Structure 1
């Protein structure tokens, strides 16, 4: 395992919610209008939006395709959008204070979100995103206003209950006209121009029958489709992963036939870094390698998709042995087809693995840096499309977040939920 380098030049914090969350977190704990259950009463509003739960941590964050906007999902069942200031790199005003531009609350948890692939602030009609809320239709909303523009129904034909997707993706090759959803042993294709109760244009079960004792009678894969990713190559291969640790490949942007399935358990990597369910899939820029992140795992699996199911190696030292989803990201570097994997850990660090597909077996991080002083989990580490800026979220559930009467001193001095934007030290030692 290579020695982990410490930074010669530290990342620069360009923007942060530190001021905003310190105030709101303390207000939540100290409010005299709290209900008997400890929640804020329905008539308590900020900016016209009801706040019904304590805001304890960000669950994840995503960059918009144009790199101007951040989309977060939080523990209070609320989606927030943050538009970065045009003078983000102006040294005289660092760090900028991040405040939500739009706040979209929900009555139930959000399982998945997806940006429109041609999102642009210059075209407000394109500044939209999808979200799947438990026991509700899929929602298309504006990132600029807390309004729902359309809904799409995914209903179990036997029980008439809503099916909530655990993953969603827009196939860019389809021009943003369609999107895919992943749920229990099911992948569906929706026509974005047909909202309402019509449902998907195609249903693609990943097993022939859920009544089979074997996984589809030995064919396909069974389980909740918890992650999906489309190959950047023109082939349009969809990779779908499940909480049951299966991965399947499907052609024609996920609407075609199965190209094969494999299980990531019972491998040498599983003995080294462990894992208990796929939470994220990432393709290498060349489309040859598939990176598989799991919950309760100390690393990331690397598979060579030219030979379906062949384990190439694994990244170790991720420090993510938790049920909390820990989002990673991949970014291409300036040197040809090389790329990097960035990830956060439960110890408060973000880490970098360079050219991970070029090493067989285990590979440790080549660089790490502590994001926060409280050692809160870094739940998401996502890269700006340029690859020079990273956004991180920090926070987790704590016992002190249950305080009802009085303001918790630790919450006051070190706010739990944080969203930070960092300028990475590309010119420092160990960076290309």
Structure 2
């Protein structure tokens, strides 16, 4: 009988592409570098600098988020300079002997930095009619924009009926069929029909009342604009707060709405009765421990995601919190598990990824949570594996690797699970002369950056190190005090 083959030790992901040093500087300088690298033209033939209205040209060009399109061909990133950049992944992304240098195919300028965006769920690069994204801007309608040729395809006004001011959505979400979308504002969720251009919402659903309801009336909260809330103002069913995140269950259309008041509202399908079925209140957790590993109390929900084979589990992440909660919606009274060690004790939004498959070969993991931290490290949790560490219910990361010198603002897992993309950046104070000294004036030096950045970063990241050293990213390649950019990793 053959001896069992020992499992290979885990290796850090391999860097296969990145934006290099172009954006590791101020906004104005990054535009100059980008123009030189692109040879003065981009795929959509638009001189975006004429329409960018960002006033702080010397500020750090932070990458706020990055995500894969539905067909897995492109990356879409939101940056501090009020632009949405689309990067098309090279066909030989995984086979090239050296990392690719990513340059944007198209740049979509917006008047202000988007509060939130939502990619069309059937995005297909070969079909320009599907390359759409919803954007939420301050004091403007919700816009549907085309990413391949940046222009506004449709507008959806969301106006307060009495003050006539524009309401700003803090969360946007397409439905599973791409025919409708939801927008979350202060204590309201709005349902729009995509085909009704220049029209307001079909319905506006209230999650709570401003005035205290009458104590004599006890009526369940339903997902309706005419809802009469619970009998006491302290009841979780009367939630007055900004709807900061939305997610839909792809099987039964159950809607989860996260708020800055640390509550998650669970509704049945908003296209049927839309009844409030559960409320997860993070302020009233039953699982309390003096030895809780990390900051237990966050400052508002920023990310939600259904996971598990049947989608019965909900991942909840907060700002100003070093933990991620996992709830079993069949018994949501208390957290099913607490994922510790996230390193996200900041008000800056650090995205969390959820995927059914992670990695390749025998080392493939199922149903994992992936998140970046302020230390530039990406951590991976496998909450459904039998082995646990630490106190019961508290799970430490199963894997982790260094991805940036600045906070990792987003971790996007490819639809096929074998590639992930990370974005990074942070606003920092810097002396003008220090930033000016890092500028490159010669055109040929752009080519030098293209050739040298990837090998420098890859050698540093693949050097390994102990768990104690995994957060030391001081040696990462970079020509300035900022590490803004997108990197793509093969698992």
- Structure 2 unaligned residues grouped into runs of 5+: 1-7, 34-44, 215-228, 440-477
The reply to whether residue 60 of structure 1 matches residue 70 of structure 2 is no
Q: How has the CA–CA distance of structure 1 residues 102 and 309 changed in structure 2, closer, same or farther, with 3 Å as cutoff?
A: farther
Say which SS state the counterpart of residue 22 (structure 2) adopts. Answer: helix
Note the 1:360-399 alignment, pairs <5 A: 361-372=393-404, 374=405, 376-399=406-429
Q: What is the aligned counterpart of 2:488 among 392, 416, 421?
A: 421
The reply to whether residue 212 of structure 1 matches residue 212 of structure 2 is yes
How many Å separate the matches in 2 of 1:254 and 1:75?
A: 36
The reply to whether residue 27 of structure 1 matches residue 55 of structure 2 is no
Q: How has the CA–CA distance of structure 1 residues 143 and 310 changed in structure 2, closer, same or farther, with 3 Å as cutoff?
A: same
Note the 1:283-294 alignment, pairs <5 A: 283-285=306-308, 286-294=310-318
Q: What is the aligned counterpart of 1:280 among 291, 300, 303?
A: 303
How many Å separate the matches in 1 of 2:106 and 2:31?
A: 23
How many Å separate the matches in 2 of 1:88 and 1:204?
A: 44
Say which SS state the counterpart of residue 88 (structure 1) adopts. Answer: coil
CA contact (8 A) 1:20 1:99 kept: no
| Aligned positions, number | 396
Deviation track 1:350-371 (CA, whole Å, cap 9, x = no partner) reads 1111134866511110111111
The reply to whether residue 75 of structure 1 matches residue 76 of structure 2 is no
Q: How has the CA–CA distance of structure 1 residues 21 and 201 changed in structure 2, closer, same or farther, with 3 Å as cutoff?
A: same
How many Å separate the matches in 2 of 1:7 and 1:296?
A: 33
TM-aligned CA deviation for residue 415 of structure 1: 4.6
Note the 1:25-424 alignment, pairs <5 A: 27=29, 48-50=47-49, 51=52, 52=54, 53=57, 54-92=59-97, 94-172=98-176, 175-196=177-198, 198-207=199-208, 209-212=209-212, 217=233, 218=235, 219-232=237-250, 234-253=251-270, 256-267=274-285, 268=287, 272-274=294-296, 275-285=298-308, 286-333=310-357, 338-356=366-384, 361-372=393-404, 374=405, 376-400=406-430, 403=432, 407-409=436-438, 412-413=479-480, 415-424=482-491
Q: How has the CA–CA distance of structure 1 residues 75 and 239 changed in structure 2, closer, same or farther, with 3 Å as cutoff?
A: same
Say which SS state the counterpart of residue 125 (structure 2) adopts. Answer: coil
Give the corresponding residue for 2:462.
Answer: none
C-alpha RMSD over aligned residues: 2.8
TM-aligned CA deviation for residue 299 of structure 1: 1.1
How many Å separate the matches in 2 of 1:141 and 1:96?
A: 28
The reply to whether residue 12 of structure 1 matches residue 14 of structure 2 is yes
CA contact (8 A) 2:26 2:61 kept: no
How many Å separate the matches in 2 of 1:127 and 1:29?
A: 24
Say which SS state the counterpart of residue 187 (structure 1) adopts. Answer: strand
Give the corresponding residue for 1:430.
Answer: none
TM-aligned CA deviation for residue 106 of structure 1: 2.2
TM-aligned CA deviation for residue 23 of structure 1: 7.8
Q: How has the CA–CA distance of structure 1 residues 422 and 333 changed in structure 2, closer, same or farther, with 3 Å as cutoff?
A: same
Say which SS state the counterpart of residue 86 (structure 2) adopts. Answer: strand
TM-aligned CA deviation for residue 28 of structure 1: 5.1
More deviation, 319-328/19-28: 19-28
TM-aligned CA deviation for residue 81 of structure 1: 1.3
Say which SS state the counterpart of residue 158 (structure 1) adopts. Answer: coil
Q: How has the CA–CA distance of structure 1 residues 100 and 404 changed in structure 2, closer, same or farther, with 3 Å as cutoff?
A: farther
Q: How has the CA–CA distance of structure 1 residues 30 and 129 changed in structure 2, closer, same or farther, with 3 Å as cutoff?
A: closer
How many Å separate the matches in 2 of 1:279 and 1:254?
A: 24
How many Å separate the matches in 2 of 1:239 and 1:388?
A: 28
How many Å separate the matches in 2 of 1:90 and 1:414?
A: 32
Deviation track 1:90-142 (CA, whole Å, cap 9, x = no partner) reads 323x3111111221222222111111111111211111111111111001011
Q: How has the CA–CA distance of structure 1 residues 306 and 23 changed in structure 2, closer, same or farther, with 3 Å as cutoff?
A: closer
Say which SS state the counterpart of residue 143 (structure 2) adopts. Answer: strand
Deviation track 1:148-198 (CA, whole Å, cap 9, x = no partner) reads 1111111110111111111111111xx2110111111101110000111x2
- Structure 1 unaligned residues grouped into runs of 5+: 1-5, 32-45, 425-432
More deviation, 151-160/106-115: 106-115
How many Å separate the matches in 1 of 2:437 and 2:9?
A: 34
